[in-house]
Amino acid sequence: MTSTEKNKKYLLTGNEACAEAAIQAGCRFYYGYPITPQNEILTHMAIRMPQVGGTFIQVESELAAINMVYGSAAAGARTMTSSSGPGISLKQEGISYLAGSELPCVIVNIQRGGPGLGDISPSQADYFQAVKGGGHGDYHTIVLAPGSVQETADLVFDAFDLADCYRNPVMILSDAQLGQMMEPVVFNKKCKPNLYKKDWALTGADGRKRNIIKSFYPVKGELEKFNAKLQKKYRQIKAEEVRYEEINIENADIVIVAYGTCARICKEFLKKGQSLNVKVGLIRPITLWPFPADIIQKVSERVQAILTVEMSAGQMVEDVRLSVSGRCPVHFYGRTGGGIPTPKEILKKISEIVSVREKVTCTT
């Protein structure tokens, strides 16, 4: 691929679509270190960056990658790095510094099985790391979770805009399946690299007051003031940037909450329209932070139960429970270590929930 035409369909892996979208969104500085299952991002960047006059560096380590991102972001450029679980863990210190210095950038995590070196199969077990901070200190990254190759491309565009808008790191939390599979993708979003003025950037102080980029506030009281500013920003993001998709939740008896690959499996289950005597709906969070707590709270007031499906031992389910606050039972079904739930397994779990409920109804 040497360039792309608007409205033309390309058959690409999620990883290639992610890299190409970044380039088209104006990212000109990419730093990466190889790790399966995200290597196609590096290879695509290695080919394309020189073509568009950008910089691609295959760095010596993940630490180098995230800190080069810090440098490019401080200079006001659109910049990105990507990795999978083990590499993202190594980047956490840098991500905390980026958040603490309010630097916009995009970090892509194509999740694989963990903990430790784990395996290279799809997983959603980096949820806690992505939405609860990961690094040290009171900070948040905006976390976007795509559900298809097309949405991966679209969200990468949005990620750069959101990062610039809020001066905050944005993470794309995808997984090995979405990264490796090929689907048609159209690049039709507009590149808006100058949408937000970066008058804070280190561009040379000739003729103006110098800018300072730092996350160090040693004078007593200063850091607390800075944290208050960050928290205000996070409250604004929570109020304005929540995104989710809902399917058939109006009359649902049971609502499933699932994101990414798991949401696709759940949609397959919904499409099959199993012979169950209950109506099942789906909420698919697209932003994992900020989490779509309000809609989940709203449905919890009228449904019989909520089921969370994840490729983890139960991480997002904690945020679902916080949103529900005991208004209805919250069930969980998860697979770990590269296991992907099947529509049959979800049917079985829903049947269990229904039969337990029926027993309760009979005795009361």
Partner 1 sequence: MSEKVILAGLGGQGMMLLGRLIAQALMLEGKNVTFYPSYGTEVRGGTAYYHLTVSEEEIFSPVIEEADTLIMMNLPSYLKFKGFLKPDSMLFLNSSMIDKIENEMNIDVYRIPATKIANNIGNVVASNMVMLGAYNEVKNLVSIPVFLSCLKNVLKGRKEPFYEVNKLAIERGAEFVRKY
Q: Would you tell me which residues interact with partner 1 (CB under 8 A)?
A: 9, 11, 36-37, 120, 176-177, 180-184, 264-265, 267-268, 271, 340, 342-344
Task: Choose between 257 and 324: whose C-beta lies nearer to partner 1.
Answer: 257
* Cα separation, 270 vs 346, whole angstroms: 10
Least Å distance, CB 84 to partner 1, is: 11
Our CB check for partner 1 shows the closer of 96 and 177 to be: 177
- Note the Cα 265 to chain centre separation in Å: 18
Residues in contact with 235: Cβ distance below 8 Å, sequence separation at least 6, in sequence order: none
Closest distance between partner 1 and the C-beta of residue 13, in Å?
A: 8
Q: Which is nearer to partner 1, 74 or 176 (CB)?
A: 176
What are the C-alpha distances in Å from 229 to residues 130, 224, 235? 21, 9, 10
| Single-letter amino acid code for the residue at 16 | E
CB of 90 to partner 1, least distance (A): 20
Q: Evaluate whether 65 touches 59 at the Cβ level (below 8 Å).
A: yes
Q: How far is the CB of 37 from partner 1 (least distance, A)?
A: 6
Q: By three-state DSSP, how is residue 170 classified? A: strand
**Positive or negative CA dihedral for 242, 259, 13, 60?**
positive
Q: Which is nearer to partner 1, 171 or 176 (CB)?
A: 176
List alpha helices for the chain, DSSP H: 14-24, 39-51, 62-74, 85-90, 92-100, 127-131, 149-166, 176-180, 222-240, 260-272, 293-300, 316-324, 343-363
Residue 95 or 262 with smaller CB distance to partner 1: 262
Report the residue number, 14 or 32, with the smaller CB distance to partner 1. 14
Q: 344 vs 348, which CB is nearer to partner 1?
A: 344
Quote the least distance from Cβ 200 to partner 1, whole Å.
41
Nearer to partner 1, 329 or 343 (CB): 343
Q: Which is nearer to partner 1, 98 or 346 (CB)?
A: 346
Min dist CB 324 to partner 1, Å, is 26
CB of 44 to partner 1, least distance (A): 15
- Shortest reach from residue 148's CB to partner 1, in Å: 9
In terms of Cβ atoms closer than 10 Å to its own Cβ (0-12, 13-18, 19+), residue 283 is: buried
What CA–CA distance (Å, rounded) separates 230 from 55? 31
**Nearest distance, CB of residue 273 and partner 1, angstroms:** 13
Which residues touch 113 (CB under 8 Å, ≥6 apart)?
85, 119, 120, 121, 122, 123, 125, 336, 337, 338
| Helices (H), ranges, 193-250 | 222-240
Placement of tokens 């103006």 in the chain: 208
